[in-house]
A and B are shown apart, each in its own frame.
Chain A
């Protein structure tokens, strides 16, 4: 036995081997996430029956994100105006409205809120499912003929996917008002808030808001499926749960940014 074991000790992999192993890990995770995504979509057929559980998750997402979301958005709106005003003072302050409006609706609102959702609600999902995996609760569900995807993943998936667009609208609104606040009180800015809003409405189209909401749908799926994937593949006790949680957040961030790029690139290609 001992001899056998020694014979099988793997050589320490070189840099290329490590890179290869890392790449395989990445592909494995992406594959698992993709199959969990399809399973969650399929389980969404049970939303009418399981609506109670979806609502519970929506409330959790809301309590996790609403207050920090407001804080983030108002400050980002304010900072945008301060920064842009400084650059534009000589040129034309009237573009402040469009800058804040477009930046919030198309980019900052969606990405900020997606990060917030992944960081707070997503990390909680990974930790919760990770602990359920480690402590055999998931196995117990399986032995009871209860599908963990329908029971646990689907409500989180649907809740995050529906909640994020709403959260983005909320963020857009607060961010724009944060900007307006600076416009109103900063003596260095000569623009009136009326002009700020008028020019914003002129430039920000319904389609810009819609793009942000579409991003929200996609990011909401990512920020729930990825954490659930890491939760369900957790191994190795408490330490495993911590690793799963961290990886879930990092991976959600990366995928959100990748998809953000793809959506933007794709939408320009269409135009």
Chain B
């Protein structure tokens, strides 16, 4: 696993959140999130279950609109970015859902190539080649014709990552990519994300409970608590943090829980 020493070169986009708020019914889940992610950076977001990490990702990808606050991606206001027709978007964002969210009725290859096929910017043979390449990237050659139900949980997650990579995205969001995976698979996914960082330079945001993983691969780690980012620092700085929640996390991680 590579740590955050070498700065990636090309293709990431920066992301900026200012005062992002989101409530459901009466309950305010996000209470003014401020967060800046540099182009090509690998940022981990940690926080307790139910603090709103998934909610935060849904605001960033545009599945939901925040009640207040601004989100800019690659210098564009998010609503403006979202309004651009798919084939004219200046850059692409992809999300890897917690349960992979592959379409159950489509094969691995169809899932991976879906976005390219629907947007009709590539010839079928180009799409074939891309599918082949990204499946090789996630070490799943030969699974093209399988259905998601025929794969293990770890394989499904890697197919989901391949599906994201197929559009060569400038920003990738991962929602707990290693939840319910064993340590070896966790390490594999971690290495894969590290490789994407070095090879493609995409900006990546990883929501995770796995602090050791976050410390091993992330440039910075943001701690979400009570609807705000209470701390955002490098793994080294984090080790010396005085934030109570951060200390809790570090202690729990040291105990191996």
Q: Which residues of A contact B (CB under 8 A)?
A: 8, 128, 131-132, 135-137, 139-146, 151
B63 touches A151 (CB 8 A): no
How far apart sit A37 and B137, CA to CA, in the bound complex (Å)? 42
- B244 touches A (CB below 8 Å): no
Choice from A128, A131, A137, A143 contacting B63 with Cβ under 8 Å: A143
- B97 & A139 in contact (Cβ 8 Å cutoff): yes
A-B contact pairs, 20 of them (CB 8 A): A8-B26, A131-B104, A132-B103, A135-B101, A135-B104, A136-B98, A137-B101, A137-B102, A139-B101, A140-B103, A141-B103, A142-B63, A143-B61, A143-B63, A144-B94, A144-B114, A144-B115, A144-B167, A145-B86, A145-B119
Interface of B is mostly: loop
**CB pair B101 A140 closer than 8 Å:** yes
Q: Pick the 5 closest A-B CB pairs, nearest first.
A: A145-B86, A136-B101, A140-B101, A144-B115, A136-B97
User: Which residues does chain A contribute within 8 Å of B61, judged by CB atoms?
Assistant: 143
Against A, the Cβ 8 Å flags (1 = close, 0 = not) of B85-123 are 010010001110111011111000000001100110000
Evaluate contact between A143 and B93: CB separation under 8 angstroms: yes
* Extra pairs beyond A128-B105, A135-B99, A139-B58 (10, CB < 8 Å): A131-B104, A135-B101, A136-B97, A136-B99, A137-B103, A143-B93, A144-B115, A144-B118, A146-B114, A151-B118
Instruction: Give Cα A140–Cα B148 distance, bound, in whole angstroms.
Output: 15
Whole-angstrom CA separation of A131 from B94 in the bound complex:
22
Q: Knowing A8-B26, A137-B104, say if A146 contacts B118 (CB, 8 Å).
A: yes
**Number of B interface residues in the complex (CB < 8 A):** 23
A128 to B58, CA, bound (A): 23
User: How many angstroms between the C-alpha atoms of A139 and B63 in the bound complex?
Assistant: 7
> Chain A residues near B101 (CB, 8 Å)?
135-137, 139-140
Scan B75-89; emit 1 where CB is below 8 A from any A CB, else 0: 000000000001001
Chain A hits for B118, CB < 8 A: 144-146, 151
B160 to chain A: closest residue by CB: A140
Give, as a whole number of angstroms, the nearest-CB distance from B149 to chain A. Answer: 12
Q: How far is the CB of B105 from chain A (nearest CB, A)?
A: 8
A144 vs B62: C-alpha distance when bound (angstroms): 11
- Expressed in whole angstroms, the Cα–Cα distance for A148 and B89 within the complex equals 19
Q: In the complex, which residue of chain A has the Cβ closest to the Cβ of B25?
A: A8
Smallest beta-carbon distance B39→chain A, Å: 20
Inter-chain contact B103/A143, CB cutoff 8 Å: no
Residues of chain B within 8 A (CB-CB) of A142 are: 63
Q: Which residues of B contact A131 (CB under 8 A)?
A: 104
Q: Which residues of B contact A144 (CB under 8 A)?
A: 94, 114-115, 118, 167
Chain B residue nearest to A151 in the complex (CB): B118
In the complex, the answer to whether A145 meets B104 with C-beta atoms within 8 Å is no
- A143 touches which of B94, B99, B119 (Cβ 8 Å): B94
